[in-house]
Amino acid sequence: MYFKSSILSLLLALSFSVVSIATPQSNFEEDANLLAPYCDVGEVPPELVSYVKELLQKKATYEIVKFCEDIKNIKDELAKLRAENNELRSTLESSNERITQLLQENEALNAIASIDSLTGLRTRRSMEEDWQSYQEKRRESKKEFFVAILDLDFFKKVNDRYGHIVGDEVLKTVGSIIVNRLRETDRIYRYGGEEIIVMLEAENDESALKVFEELLILVKAHKFTAFNTKTKTTDTFSNSFSMGVAKQTKIEQKLEELIDLADNALYQAKDNGRSQIVFYNNCLSSLN
């Protein structure tokens, strides 16, 4: 009976004295004696206390080893996660650099697409993109808005007589003359071939006409010198343009409609003898 109870005491002591694993200073004998009333015995024999202590120490050693192994596994896992994290960070940095590069390339392409390489004027594509923002500003303006399309007169003859290089130079020079005369708030675009579109605000038709007349005077006053491939002589010549102008009568009017109206007026200017400006409402410039 005593041995059976003592064994029970040992088992209970083994369970009860878990605290002793973490605190080697604990009194194993006191812990074991606390269990005596539950075993119907007196004090637990010293031999059994020693045996329990040995078992507990063995258990503690096992737990410590296991704990250290767990810590090592955790450290290994953390090292693996750090390596993966560094790899992801490197990939992300490379991706960000590539995105930045692509954005820069996209901006460069947009700049190329928005500026005509020959004349330096803005392109037809950029005109369509600018239109919406231009109209937003128009809602707050009390001035009239005009769209004009000009076409260089007899430009084909310039190319035939002096070659396309000279023709390109004429087109560039005319564009430069117009840009230098207009305000920063005005817009000028190369529409195609030798056609140029001008957008500007003015107080009224007469004010707009005055600006367009000045442009025509400046262009006609410029002298070009080039070798005539037909006569084999060096010629000095000037150029002029015909222009059609349309006024925006309501904010809802689309760009395509205004260009179409200006184009109709341009044809009238050509039919009237060229080198002149015609408004779609038939207000005809006196220049010819």
Buried b / exposed e over 209-225, threshold 16 CB at 10 Å, is bebbbebbeebeeeeee
Three-state DSSP at 283 gives coil
CA–CA distance, 83 with 218 (Å, rounded to integer): 70
Q: What is the pLDDT of residue 43?
A: 56
pLDDT tens readout for residues 262-272:
999 999 999 99
Beta-sheet pairing, 195-202 with 187-192: antiparallel
CA 243/CA 254 separation, integer angstroms: 20
Q: Are 227 and 221 in contact (CB under 8 A)?
A: no
In this structure, is the dihedral angle defined by the CA atoms of residues 21, 23, 28 and 34, taken in order, positive or negative?
negative
In the predicted structure, residue 219 carries a pLDDT above the cut 70: yes
Question: Which segment of 57-66, 76-85, 203-212 scores lowest on mean pLDDT?
Answer: 57-66
Q: What is the pLDDT of residues 139-191, one digit of tens each?
A: 788 899 999 999 999 999 999 999 999 999 999 999 999 999 999 889 999 99
What's the sign of the alpha-carbon dihedral 146, 169, 274, 271? negative
Rounded to two decimals, the pTM is: 0.64
Question: Is 194 tagged catalytic?
Answer: yes
Catalytic residue among 84, 140, 194, 203: 194
Contact 245, 265 (CB under 8 A): yes
Phi first, then psi: give them for residue 281, nearest 5 degrees.
-85, 15
Give the model confidence (pLDDT) of 81-134 as tens digits: 999 999 998 888 888 888 888 888 777 777 777 899 899 999 988 898 888 888
Identify the three-state secondary structure at position 86: helix
Position 19 confidence tier, pLDDT thresholds 50, 70, 90: very low
Distance (Å, whole) CA 17 – CA 29: 10
pLDDT band at 20 (very low <50, low <70, confident <90, very high): very low
CA distance 63 to 70: 10
pLDDT grade for 49, boundaries at 50, 70 and 90: low
Is residue 240 over pLDDT 70? yes
Kindly state the tokens that stand for 30: 């006191």
Cβ of 134: how many Cβ atoms within 10 Å?
16
Provide the pLDDT for residue 284: 47
Q: 66: which 2 tokens?
A: 């296991």
- Write the DSSP symbol of residue 115: B
Q: What percent of the chain has pLDDT over 70?
A: 74
Q: What mean pLDDT is predicted for residues 203-222?
A: 95
DSSP H/E element including 132:
helix 124-138
Q: Give the rounded percent of residues in the chain with a pLDDT score beyond 90.
A: 47
Region at 154 (left for phi over 0; alpha for psi -120 to 50; beta for the rest) = left
Q: By CB neighbour count within 10 A (0-12 exposed, 13-18 middle, 19+ buried), where does 196 fall? A: buried
Quote the pLDDT of residue 41.
Answer: 46
The predicted pLDDT at position 274 comes to 95
Q: Which residue has the higher pLDDT, 185 or 6?
A: 185
Q: What is the pLDDT of residue 220?
A: 97
Q: How far apart are CA 198 and CA 44, in angstroms?
A: 111
pLDDT of residue 23: 43
In this structure, what token pair is assigned to residue 194? 């030798």
Residue 61: the pLDDT is 66
Residue 147 structure tokens: 């769209």
Structural domains in the chain plus CATH codes: 1-114 (no CATH), 122-279 (3.30.70.270)
